[in-house]
Amino acid sequence: MPNPTAAMLVIGDEILSGRTRDANMHYLAQELTKHGIRLSEVRIVPDNHDAIVGAVQALSAGYDTVFTSGGIGPTHDDITAEAVADAFAVPIGIRDDARAILQAHYDRQGSTLNEARLRMARIPEGASLIDNPVSAAPGFTLHNVHVMAGVPTVFQTMVASVLPTLTGGAPMLSQSLRIARGEGDIAGPLGKLATAHPEVEIGSYPFIKDGVYGANIVVRSPDGAAIDAVIHELAALFPEAQ
């Protein structure tokens, strides 16, 4: 059976403007690979209700699991929770268990659970909460969509909470060889090798170092023996490979 698939939806004007560099996609991709889940698509949308609704609906229908990042904080532009609720046509409101988590957190801090902070207790009907041991405000899961904070430290702890609940597949393994030739020189034999071995993925990633053109050839598969076989063939094709 093929490994389960996942998609990620990154939400935020600050990502699209270049003001903030997204770190969550890289982290999620690594964790899903270890869990045997293929991250197949990543979309970035602005803080726009209709854009979020459309992306959630499309990704939820297209993949086994969806992770969202951003837009669940206390400010006016944090609109992800409402958009996800609308994507599945369910009501949303302040939920008692989420309110209790926030109340306990702000009581410990000696702060007030004001109207703005209470926005983080809005949970769509039927969703389950995702634990947030960093800053308390929970994420939530609705159907196959996991709604998480954009702050990397919080996002990472939420991923750690969700992953054990998901059915994974065989972890993706990889090996690589470095070839000091331009891609134009190696493309022909590399293409034939890829055609001969559909059981593995072969990727070519060019580099330039000290004026030398080359490529890192990465072979991926859940089957370690298949990777070894292709690496041996690569080494025979390109004896200078490292």
Residue 1, pLDDT above cutoff 80: no
Residue 210: the pLDDT is 85
What residues does 217 pair with on adjacent strands? 177, 204
For the segment 126-148, the average pLDDT, to the nearest whole number, is 96
Domain ranges of the chain: 5-165, 173-237
Name the class of domain 173-237: alpha beta
Token duo for residue 205: 């990633």
- Cβ atoms within 10 Å of 86's Cβ, excluding its own: 19
- Write out pLDDT tens, residues 215-237: 999 999 988 999 999 999 999 99
C-alpha triplet 141, 26, 79: angle, nearest 5°: 40
What is the pLDDT of the chain when averaged over all its residues? Answer: 94
Residue 48: the pLDDT is 96
- 5-165 and 173-237: same fold? no
Residue 148, pLDDT above cutoff 80: yes
- Write out pLDDT tens, residues 52-71: 999 999 999 999 999 999 99
Residue 43: the pLDDT is 98
Superfamily (CATH) of domain 5-165: MoaB/Mog-like domain (3.40.980.10)
| Three-class HEC string of the chain | CCCCEEEEEEECHHHHCCCCCCCHHHHHHHHHHHHCCEEEEEEEECCCHHHHHHHHHHHHHHCCEEEEECCCCCCCCCCHHHHHHHHCCCCEEECHHHHHHHHHHHHHHCCCCCHHHHHHHEEECCCEEECCCCCCCCEEEECCEEEECCCHHHHHHHHHHHHHHCCCCCCCEEEEEEECCCHHHHHHHHHHHHHHCCCCEEEEEEEEECCEEEEEEEEEECCHHHHHHHHHHHHHHCCCCC
